[in-house]
Homo-oligomer: A and B are copies of this chain.
Amino acid sequence: MVPSRGSRTKNRGFIIPIGGAVRKRKNPVILEKFVELCGGNKAVIPVIAAATKVKEVGGEYVQLFTNMGAKKVPFVDIQTRSDCRKDEILSQFKDATGIFMTGGNQLRLSTILGGTPVAQLIRKMNADGLHFAGTSAGAAIIPEHMISGGRSGSTPTPGSVSLSPGLGLTNSMVIDQHFRQRNRLGRLLSAVAYNPFLIGIGIDEDTAIFIDHKQTFEVSGSGAVTVVDPSDIQHSSMSTARRGDAVNLVDVKLHILADGATYNLQSKEAIVTDSPEKQ
């Protein structure tokens, strides 16, 4: 699904995929930055934990954002598709300035939320300026094409990744998370090799990208972001290789970006400036 165009009178809100295992207590830069972006002491941040059956997961973020000074942090208790049609659920999004989606299983997320009034509301509100952050499964579900599973390993093979329709807040990229920690370059390369119009974004744990309405993102956190730009690929043997075969991919462009680096998803250019005191 292409991203909602909303009312077209406002800029799209930030889209913030987080690579999982985000720091919550000591130096939680990513979460603090998110709360600040949502308005600090004026922030209203509904938390959705539908990716997991463990209710404590959502409650923990409610507590964290409240402690960080947010004005209101409603816990949106979605467990079924029918929940996503209830007025008392939909009303919890009123006045929201940001939404946070926890980790768990992205297929649980997509099967519960997909096509429901909650999904439609999130899509429209993000187009109209609401910021959306999701970690792990909550990050995976962000794009039109969602990585729903796959095998670990650094080289791509047919069948090493499975794609499913996601929430569709963006359609220019495919996102993978726990990237370095779970050795996922191969499945990200496989995903972009299927159709090189997508940019592959691999996000390490405790790392996030803050994507603005101009399609530029900035990296934040302690890990790195791996950008796979397939636009110059000369050859992909993905169509002819058999399941489990090694695959040829010639001329993939790769960037590794750390905290503070920026990347423009349209011009496909990275901008990195080392801070002066480090030089």
Contacts and interface: CB of A to CB of B under 8 A. Distances in A.
A274 B237 CA distance: 7
Contact of A224 (B155, B179, B202, B279): B155
Contact of A248 (B179, B251, B258): B258
A248 B223 contact: no
Contact of A256 (B156, B224, B253, B270): B156
Given A153-B180, A256-B156, A240 B204 contact: no
A27 interface: no
A245 interface: yes
Nearest to A189: B256
A249 B237 CA distance: 27
Q: Is the interface of A mostly helix, strand, loop or mixed?
A: loop
A184 B279 contact: no
Interface residues of A, number: 46
A245 B278 CA distance: 12
A69 B96 CA distance: 75
A181 B155 CA distance: 9
Contacts of A154: 154, 179-180, 183-185, 202, 226
Nearest to A227: B250
Contacts of A153: 180-181, 183
A42 interface: no
Contacts of A279: 240
25 contacts: A153-B180, A154-B185, A154-B226, A155-B179, A155-B223, A155-B226, A156-B256, A185-B185, A235-B270, A235-B272, A237-B258, A240-B274, A241-B258, A246-B256, A248-B256, A248-B257, A248-B272, A248-B274, A250-B255, A250-B272, A251-B255, A252-B253, A252-B254, A253-B254, A254-B254
Given A156-B224, A235-B272, A248-B272, 5 more contacts: A155-B224, A224-B246, A224-B247, A234-B270, A252-B254
